[in-house]
Structure 1
């Protein structure tokens, strides 16, 4: 298997919310939005209670046990930065799709980077291991461990004075939540809390940039989706856990003065992508001569997505890291030193494309006649369309996507053929 580095190159404020004192309880009138939010939070707590308790830190150590002089030396070397103005970043989910690209981009520009990944089996671990090899060749050490392992996190923060955390570790996928809901609670909620706990206790406290999702817009029908739109109508458990993550981040920002920035990703695609994504398994099935199932909405319309190329997402991630202000924390008296930065941004392409057009492009690039089967969209948590309003990210992060779907898919297909069939499919190009 050829695992050469074909990853693309990448370059690279909302005002803090004021605290408002509570009104007299007898004067409160619950709005519908408050009721919906209460129901939503109750559901999250319900799922949390049903989920099995998170494993104890000691039970989360992997077969590659961490700690010791040699391990600390590898961590310190990977976290070394080229200048005093460079960042030192802990990237969780570093051997994931976005995590690999972000880690490489940070390392290329001279930042110190330490990765953390548990290499779970949600999709082929061999792909994650291949990404890990690419990262290792670039000088990025990926620690094998779980974000629920509090002892490991505290050890990392003791060894390295991280300036930032890029939190990308999560249980992904809308449909898988119907099969294994507890994995979403364990990773997306419990794991995030464990990371925030370690971050608030660290000295210095890092600024946190974390991955949310466009799925938080749920059943919202107003387009394009703006950060100001309501996000209390999740259409899937995955979306609910991502929304819960945003609320938890806000609480830690308010109580512990952690600087937090949430990034709502819109259908990210590209080389080294996730096999559970449509563009990826469509490519696989087309090459095998299998039928492609294309869903249509209940009204007979086409399902559309705001497909965003990985290079553009990485630019947004680096922009968020570079503009993140320091956490303010507490004084020795236990009082706030000042409100910490809190932000939410959409990172999309602003150009929704019907999935039928995605299939047309793949048919052209692969030079294979596609066998299509059109079916009604199942009730599995998917939504009919996504469409990002990115004006806030443009203004505050300098974010500007530049890759259209056909150009991005061409790069993906080239990588796919090179990675999975380096000799067999060279004739396509």
Structure 2
């Protein structure tokens, strides 16, 4: 029997992916952990968890990946884990300027603690973990390819994610651990993170509050809808594996790029509100453009939801969840 272990289950991507697995793998056990930290609204995380705990094959622990005792306990309680999806991390780019130790604790020590735990699961088949498009740093060759150099991160967050890839490769080499890194590109959708631009813009529009637009909105992103991400992650996590250990990297992001300014214009139409914009220069840690190159990854990732459709779904959810509409 397959047994899945997922970190960051109360997070945005973790919640959606866990929910999909619970629906797809009704005969499998899904064990999830989250430390429920207050980086953003804990009540939103609790509401996500409520949906997961309705499933009888789901078990949740409020544990921290950076705590060795927590991970030892999980290893003892669940010795038969076959698949790991590691999504827990200290997210955000700007937060690293003021809280660097949060990234060192969770994204570095926590990652090593997690991958060490994987070594003790004798039935483990696959370790899948979240990297980020931020590892491409100031790369100006578009679209980004997994073959590109990633030696110039522009933020502490990006540096920790690049470090995760190097650590995972070292463990693959030393211990024959099969590893897959997923470089996510600007994921959005219902239940999304409150610190992300789409959420912040929508909130400001409905509350008639000013919003901040950096560099006049002239930054471009591969905005990627959550359902497309979940389809790829669950397929990669559960597909039949090669007989020999492997290490692989994938970009998971839409090959279509849009500006932040365009996103705001679409949100204005969907909310029927006019933004009160405060202009700010580009932030030192912001990259001007991300563009996911899929490198013949048709079997790995497919973008089905357009930006307009995805934003419409997000606004509908936001109105239901926060406005009772």
Matched, 1:265 2:184: yes
Specify the alignment match of 2:107 in structure 1. Answer: 188
1:243: how far off?
Answer: 0.2
Tell me the secondary structure at the aligned position of residue 394 of structure 1.
coil
Q: Is the 8 A contact 2:150 2:162 kept in 1?
A: yes
Aligned residues: 321
Alignment of 1:121-200 (within 5 A): 121-139=38-56, 140-160=58-78, 161-200=80-119
- The structure 1 residue matched to 2:251, chosen from 346, 353, 362, is 346
Q: Is the 8 A contact 1:285 1:292 kept in 2?
A: yes
Matched, 1:105 2:34: no
State the TM-score, normalizing by the size of structure 2.
0.95
Distance 1:159 1:393 in 2: 37
1:288: how far off?
Answer: 1.4
1:322: how far off?
Answer: 2.3
Which stretches of structure 1, 4 residues or more, deviate above 4 A after TM superposition? none
Q: Is the 8 A contact 1:266 1:347 kept in 2?
A: yes
Distance 1:275 1:324 in 2: 36
Distance 1:147 1:201 in 2: 15
Distance 2:230 2:43 in 1: 23
1:292: how far off?
Answer: 2.3
Identify if the C-alpha distance between structure 1 residues 102 and 137 changes in structure 2 by more than 3 Å, giving closer, same or farther: same
Q: Is the 8 A contact 1:325 1:341 kept in 2?
A: no
The runs of 5 or more residues in structure 1 that have no matched partner are: 1-83, 329-338
Distance 1:261 1:90 in 2: 15
Specify the alignment match of 1:208 in structure 2. Answer: 127
Distance 1:117 1:340 in 2: 28
Distance 2:147 2:133 in 1: 13
1:324: how far off?
Answer: 6.3
Matched, 1:415 2:317: yes
Identify if the C-alpha distance between structure 1 residues 150 and 206 changes in structure 2 by more than 3 Å, giving closer, same or farther: farther
Distance 2:293 2:19 in 1: 27
The runs of 5 or more residues in structure 2 that have no matched partner are: none
Distance 1:322 1:360 in 2: 39
Tell me the secondary structure at the aligned position of residue 91 of structure 1.
strand
Alignment of 1:25-424 (within 5 A): 84=1, 87-110=2-25, 111-139=28-56, 140-160=58-78, 161-296=80-215, 302-323=218-239, 325=241, 340-379=245-284, 381-395=285-299, 397=300, 399-422=301-324
Query: Bigger radius of gyration, 1 or 2?
Result: 1
1:318: how far off?
Answer: 1.0
Tell me the secondary structure at the aligned position of residue 298 of structure 2.
helix
What is the root-mean-square deviation of aligned Cα atoms in Å? 1.6
Distance 2:276 2:68 in 1: 49
Distance 1:186 1:226 in 2: 29
Distance 2:185 2:96 in 1: 19
1:392: how far off?
Answer: 4.0
